[in-house]
Amino acid sequence: MPPFSVEVEKGRLRLFAKAIGELDPIYSDETAALAAGFRSLPVPPTFLFCLEMERPDAYDWCEELNVPLARVLHGEQAFTYYGVAYAGDLLTFSSEIVDIYDKKNGTLEFIVRKNTITNQQNEQIAEFDSTLVIRPKSELTTQ
Amino acid sequence: MTLPDYEAIDIGHELPALTLPAITRQALAIYCGASGDHNPIHVDIDYAQAAGLDDVIAHGMLIMAYVGRVLTNWVPQSAIRDFNTRFLAMTDVGDQITACGRVVEKFNQATARCVRVEIEAVDQNGIVKASGTALVELG
């Protein structure tokens, strides 16, 4: 998949803070963030995963691998952090599928996607691995 | 926020836990928009049932975000070196999640003093929805 870049928007960070019940004002109130010594609202630890879904089609890999979205579950998520990103940053995500394997005699399939994230200064902010589990077809109701 | 004192933290130290309100459909709709994860299995019951589920299920990443709040309530975010979870069970509407963490290891890594924290999200019946670890640098 080609690398893609996304600007971190304050409004989205505020909405995300609301969605996860975050009460610490540094994540939603820029005055509080600046007072705490940050250059703007910080991107909370798991929001990097969400920013990656801002690609034109977040599930394009499903189509590429011929996997029906209805059978996809999130199995594991692993972040490694090298820095913190802030509102106003332009983050570039490079993603690749690094592993595909199965368990239980092929009834459960696993797809591992790796993302590497850099900011506008080309500093590496983080990387993360997302393991997606493909549920067996037998669990789907017949239509 | 200041870093906890490495010397004062013992193995077994528990991070302040966080008990969330029960998951509502509205909470999932808000997370859908806020996260940008528009997979209908989290918000559209017709789609979820066609996919073989009884109802919509919560986003795993919402549960991980709750656990992330336990970490950022405890240390400045910049101290978190890594953070991983395995999603072990689906989270249903009505489930009430408690997120918690416990220090399981202390060690020096290069010039940094680190602790390994085991993290977990459990529901009102004690079912573990997600578990994992985080590596935190304490100066």
Residues of the domain holding B72: 8-23+60-137
What CATH number should be reported for the domain holding residue A28? Answer: 3.10.129.10
pLDDT of residue A142: 43
User: Cβ separation of B34 and A75 shorter than 8 Å?
Assistant: no
Distance between CA atoms of residues B2 and B121, nearest Å: 25
On whether residue B12 sits in a domain, the answer given is yes
Q: How many domains does chain B have?
A: 1
Question: Given CB atoms, is B31 within the 8 Å cutoff of chain A?
Answer: yes
pLDDT of residue B110: 80
pLDDT of residue A105: 83
Q: Provide, rounded to the nearest whole percent, the portion of chain A with pLDDT above 70.
A: 96
Distance between CA atoms of residues B1 and B16, nearest Å: 15
Residues of the domain holding A113: 4-139
- Pick A81's closest partner by Cβ from B21, B60, B81: B81
On whether residue B108 sits in a domain, the answer given is yes
What CATH number should be reported for the domain holding residue B114? Answer: 3.10.129.10
On whether residue B50 sits in a domain, the answer given is no
- Joined together, the tokens standing for residue B52 give 């073989």
Say what the ipTM of the complex is.
0.96
- pLDDT (tens, 9 = 90+) of chain B, 139 residues, equals 889 999 999 999 999 999 999 999 999 999 999 999 999 999 999 999 999 999 999 999 999 999 999 999 999 999 999 999 999 999 999 999 999 999 999 999 888 999 999 999 999 999 999 999 999 999 8
Question: Given CB atoms, is A12 within the 8 Å cutoff of chain B?
Answer: yes
Q: How many domains does chain A have?
A: 1
Rounded to a whole number of angstroms, the distance from the CA of B65 to the nearest CA of chain A is: 6
Distance between CA atoms of residues A59 and B133, nearest Å: 27
On whether residue B34 sits in a domain, the answer given is no
Angle (CA) B56-B84-B69 rounded to 5° is: 70
Residue B88's closest chain A neighbor by CA? A75
On whether residue B55 sits in a domain, the answer given is no
Name, in order, each residue with C-beta under 8 angstroms of B49's C-beta and a sequence gap of 6 or more.
Answer: A141, B55
Q: Does pLDDT of A143 surpass 70? A: no
pTM of this prediction?
0.95
* Residue A32 CB coordination number (10 Å): 14
pLDDT of residue A57: 84
User: Cβ separation of A21 and B69 shorter than 8 Å?
Assistant: yes
pLDDT tens readout for residues A46-80: 999 999 999 888 888 888 888 899 899 999 999 99
On whether residue B38 sits in a domain, the answer given is no
A91 φ/ψ angles, rounded to the nearest 5 degrees: -105, 140
